[in-house]
């Protein structure tokens, strides 16, 4: 899942980004509304976590602009005001969900996953392929009943390949969807992660390399 966190409190924004990355999400950060609009003009994020009270361009205007652009991104709006009237107003602007501050990180993660599912075709809560099982919510993968020691990034790659349901996924698509802006597009990051994932999945091999096209399960 590709997420944009838009929050002018730098410490909070960076903290949220760290938590989401530990959950296997690819996260970019913007500290004002103008930067958010620039990023969303270049990347179709699954979810935009949008603080309402932003400098440069107000969060309400950012949300309205995304709606006007017919952006596929879902918007989870944050605000220090948790009144019912404020929540209703925020949802009326076009936000998909609304979370008052302060919030628990566990709830934030759950809400991001919930609204993010709306951007993609419906998939079962537990992904399976033969004796391989992946529970995205619990971030647990098993094969033949044994838990696999996968890193957050390896789990994210596995989830993306399983969600593709046999479709060939290019290295560029994986880099765009699983990594964030900090990733160097000219490195062998994707190939190295796939190789580690293959080794941990064991035999018989599950990930197929399709020459000059990408990977699939």
In this predicted model, what pLDDT tens digit does every residue of 151-199 receive, in sequence order? Answer: 989 999 999 999 988 999 999 889 888 887 766 666 788 999 999 999 9
Of 61-65, 121-125, 142-146, least confident by mean pLDDT is: 121-125
CA distance 115 to 111: 6
Mean pLDDT value across the chain? 89
What are the angstrom distances between the C-alpha of 118 and each of 24, 96, 211? Answer: 18, 10, 32
Tell me the angle at which helices 10-22 and 105-116 cross, rounded to the nearest 10 degrees: 70
pTM: 0.71
Mean pLDDT of 36-44: 93
């Amino acid at each position: 899942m590709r997420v944009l966190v838009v929050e002018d409190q730098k410490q909070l924004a960076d903290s949220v980004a760290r938590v989401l990355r530990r959950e296997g999400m690819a996260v970019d950060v913007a500290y004002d509304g103008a930067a958010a609009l620039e990023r969303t003009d270049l990347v179709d994020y699954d979810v935009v976590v949008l603080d309402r009270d932003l400098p440069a361009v107000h969060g309400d205007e950012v949300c309205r602009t995304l709606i006007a652009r017919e952006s596929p991104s879902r918007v989870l709006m944050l605000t220090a005001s948790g009144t019912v009237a404020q929540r209703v107003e925020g949802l009326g602007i076009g936000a998909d969900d609304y979370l008052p501050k302060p919030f628990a990180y566990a709830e934030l993660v759950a809400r991001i996953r919930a609204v993010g599912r709306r951007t993609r075709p419906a998939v079962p809560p537990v992904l399976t392929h033969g004796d391989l099982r992946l529970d995205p919510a619990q971030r647990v993968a098993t094969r033949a009943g044994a838990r696999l020691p996968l890193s957050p990034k390896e789990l994210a790659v596995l989830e993306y390949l399983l969600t593709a349901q046999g479709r060939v996924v290019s290295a560029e698509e994986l880099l765009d969807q699983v990594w964030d802006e900090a990733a160097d597009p000219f490195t062998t990051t994707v190939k190295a992660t796939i190789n580690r994932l293959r080794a941990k999945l064991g035999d018989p091999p599950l990930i197929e390399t399709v020459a000059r096209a990408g990977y699939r399960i």
